[in-house]
Every structure is written in C-alpha cells, then in structure tokens.
Amino acid sequence: MKSEKAVPVIVVVDMLYDFIDGTLACLNSESAVKEAVKFINKHDDMVVAYICDHHPSNHSSFTEFGGVWPPHCVQGTRGGSVHDSFYSEILNKNSRPQRGNLFLKGEDPLKEQYSGYEAVNSVNGTLDNYIKMHAADQGDGDVYVCGIATEFCINATVRDLADSGRRVYLISDALAYVEREGHEKILKELSHYKNVTII
C-alpha cells in the first residue's frame, strides 16, 4: 500500500563491521558512518533501509572457494553486523535497523551480488517493493544513498536504482571506499549518470 505523500528513502549500504574494521576494512569508513548517522538524524521524516551482505561461510566470492575476496560478512558474525552507531545514535527509533528495514543480499553461495536493489527481507520483500510502499501515486519516490564501498556495492546499487526511474541522491560525505582514486573515478561517472545527483 502506497503512502498518500511520497516519502524519500535513505538507503544505507553495507555499513557493516567487516567493511569498517574487519577483513575488508575500507578508507573513510568511520567518518562515513558518522556522516550517515548525522544525515539520518537531520532528516528524521525520511524512511531508512539498511542493505547487508549476508554470506554463507562457503560463498563463491571468497578466495577459498575461487573468489577474489577474503571471507567477510558471514551470517551470524560481528563482521556482518550493522555498526552500533545506527542502533545507539539514531534519534528516531523507527529509523534504526530492525526486522522490517534490514534487507539481505549475497545469500546464494553461487552468486555475487554487489547491488542492494534486489536485497530482500521476510517482512517487505525486496528493497524495490519497500521504496514503492513509501512512494505516492505520482512517482516512485526519491532515494538517498550512502555506505560502503563506492567502487562496488554503492556503484551497482545507485545504477540499478537510477535505472528503475528513481531520482537518486548520493551522499558523498557518507561514503567509504577501497581506494581514493577509484572512489573519485566512480563519483565522476555517476555524476553524469541519468537520474543521479551527487550531494
């Protein structure tokens, strides 16, 4: 059921411990978390969705199984958990991570899944469906994106959201990345991508 008034959705991508201080720790991650929390608190009328890598221990993206990444965000581990700041520092309790707004990706051991666009949960289905629930009849709703890492999951998620026809606003201060050069390259590409605005 759609809202009578369109409500923007903030999509927080992979703000998980393995990407912050774990096996795939990224540059600017702690600062990105702080900026994301600040943005959410400043816009407490918006709806928040959290995208989470949620891999089985035998995922094909892991080096042990022929992939390119060290094990990360394994189901049931601290590394796969959303940073505590989103639980303790978000003022609006409805905006904190919870069953209905945590969307999981990368659960199929045979499939790499960078984009959070088709991430799912048992309450609201896909992220796409969740955004539609909060969009008014006249459109599909604006989406704000932050998270980790610019070159991979952010890049893929933003492109898929933009390709779905939504206006996407990428919160540049709330991004972490593998390498600064790659981060800047992707930001430049996305700044020219249809429906995407860097803020």
pLDDT in tens, 130-181: 998 887 544 567 999 999 999 999 999 999 999 999 999 999 999 999 999 9
The residue segments making up the domain with residue 101 are 9-198
Q: Is 168 domain-assigned? A: yes
pLDDT single digits (tens) 23-48: 999 999 999 999 999 999 999 989 99
Q: Is 94 domain-assigned? A: yes
Q: Is 1 domain-assigned? A: no
Q: Is 2 domain-assigned? A: no
Q: Are 174 and 187 in contact (CB under 8 A)?
A: no
pLDDT on residue 2: 47
How confident is residue 63, by pLDDT bands cut at 50, 70 and 90?
confident
Please check the confidence at residue 185 and state whether its pLDDT lies above 90. Answer: yes
Q: How many domains does the chain have?
A: 1
C-alpha distances in angstroms, 176 versus 1, 118, 121?
34, 22, 25
Q: Is 63 domain-assigned? A: yes
Please check the confidence at residue 191 and state whether its pLDDT lies above 80. Answer: yes
Q: Are 147 and 172 in contact (CB under 8 A)?
A: no
Q: What average pLDDT score do residues 62-83 get?
A: 92
pLDDT on residue 38: 98
Instruction: Provide the CATH number for the domain around residue 87.
Output: 3.40.50.850
Q: Is 3 domain-assigned? A: no
Q: Is 131 domain-assigned? A: yes
Q: Is 4 domain-assigned? A: no
- What would you report as the CA-atom Rg of the chain, rounded to the nearest whole angstrom? 16
pTM attached to this predicted model: 0.94
